[in-house]
Chains A and B, each alone.
Chain A
Amino acid sequence: MELAQMQKSLQDYTKSLFLEGVLDSQFLQLQQLQDESNPDFVSQVVTLFFQDSDRILNDLSLSLDQQVVDFKKVDPHVHQLKGSSSSIGAQRVKNACVVFRSFCEQQNVEACHRCLQQVKQEYYLVKNRLETLFKLEQQIVASGGMIPAMELGF
């Protein structure tokens, strides 16, 4: 694939993530913080997010599977995930966490189980999308090209 074509694909792909609401403007903020001195900043932060989230989701699954659910344990985890997803612009994950927290407050175990599934779904989605995005970027860089700046025309 030609370089220009790859760059266009990347732009279109990124744009679609915003239009679908998978990412929000905070992701663009992160991209603004990336430069020649910190060329991998976004992927570094996102990798931290993945590591953090994998751990939190695991802890959440365990906590919700207890005979007696300790919401004092569950809520802080969801709060944490809400925070980190918000910080990288993973909007749908964040929104799913907001819903989750409201059910934690109500101490509704069944609803929380459903929320966890929803959060996981959104998380795996954004993870998949971002991994694809980074692969596209790598292909461009490997071909000697530059990552095009995000156009904000939409």
Chain B
Amino acid sequence: MTVGDLSSSPSSSRELHVLAVDDSFVDRKVIERLLRISACKVTTVESGTRALQYLGLDGDKGSSTLKDLKVNLIVTDYSMPGLTGYELLKKIKESSAFREVPVVIMSSENIQPRIQQCMTEGAEGFLLKPVKLADVKRLKELIMRSGEPEDETKHSCPKRILQDDTDSSTSTLSSSLDVSSLDDDTPSSKRMKLEPRAHD
């Protein structure tokens, strides 16, 4: 029985378990709902420190008690008091237990050097807040696909969150009255970063 595992039915082991880290109450509630509605198991924590504790990486105790902990994806806010999302990312990538777990950074700020820094450190992708349902769905698809054994060949290219980056105006944050973004399949959604561009 793994930590946070609510049932032992076979189907639950194929469910993605996501650890979401965000210091904002509001954002935690929203990301949790977004993930649950996308059929993921969710554990939310309010800080990078708590995340490390949950993962058994805080150095207080060995990870032996947590070796059955299965986390398929970690989604973390960038700007948090104490440990930033970037610092959390580094610690995760430094650990033997969790370095293979994809980490996605969320931020309300579209700052290229920041995004680049996270990607360089091994982040799987970058989500611009406010996060939408379409973002989470796409994220889930990517993670589930990259979990398949036949995907060995795909590891040769860097995994990124897919984005229809057809034009460079990725600075569209919460656009007003942009009701077109409600359509989950809309190709014009520019919510997630693919290759970060210098001029964005």
Contacts and interface: CB of A to CB of B under 8 A. Distances in A.
Interface in A113-136: none
Nearest to A41: B33
A26 B130 contact: yes
Count chain A CB atoms within 10 A of each CB in B27, B130, B175 and give the residue with the most: B130
A151 to B, nearest CB: 10
Given A28-B179, A86-B130, A38 B26 contact: no
Contacts of B30: 30, 33, 45, 87
A29 interface: yes
A95 B157 CA distance: 39
B181 interface: yes
Nearest to A151: B179
A83 B108 contact: yes
Nearest to B176: A24
Interface residues of B, number: 25
B27 A83 contact: yes
Interface in B1-41: 24-27, 29-30, 33-34, 37
Interface string B34-68: 10010000000000000000000000000000000
B183 to A, nearest CB: 10
A25 B129 contact: no
Interface of B: 24-27, 29-30, 33-34, 37, 79, 81, 108, 129-130, 132-133, 173-179, 181-182
Contact of A87 (B26, B81, B181, B182): B26
Interface in A27-58: 28-30, 32-33, 38, 41, 44-45, 48-49, 51-52
Contacts of B173: 86
Contacts of A80: 24
Given A18-B177, A44-B29, A52-B26, A29 B79 contact: no
Given A87-B26, A87-B129, 16 more contacts: A21-B177, A24-B174, A24-B175, A24-B177, A24-B178, A26-B174, A33-B33, A33-B37, A48-B25, A52-B26, A83-B26, A86-B173, A86-B174, A89-B174, A152-B179, A154-B177
A72 to B, nearest CB: 12
A82 B27 CA distance: 12
Contacts of B130: 26, 29, 86-87, 89
The 10 A-B residue pairs whose C-beta atoms are closest, nearest first, are: A84-B26, A152-B179, A87-B130, A26-B130, A33-B33, A25-B178, A48-B25, A24-B176, A86-B130, A83-B108
B24 A52 contact: yes
Given A45-B30, A87-B30, A94 B179 contact: no
Interface in A43-101: 44-45, 48-49, 51-52, 76, 79-80, 82-84, 86-89, 91, 94
Interface residue tally on A, bucketed by range: 20 to 34
A87 B130 CA distance: 5
Nearest to A50: B26
A137 B101 CA distance: 42
Contacts of B177: 18-19, 21, 24-25, 154
B129 to A, nearest CB: 6
A29 B26 contact: no
Nearest to A79: B79
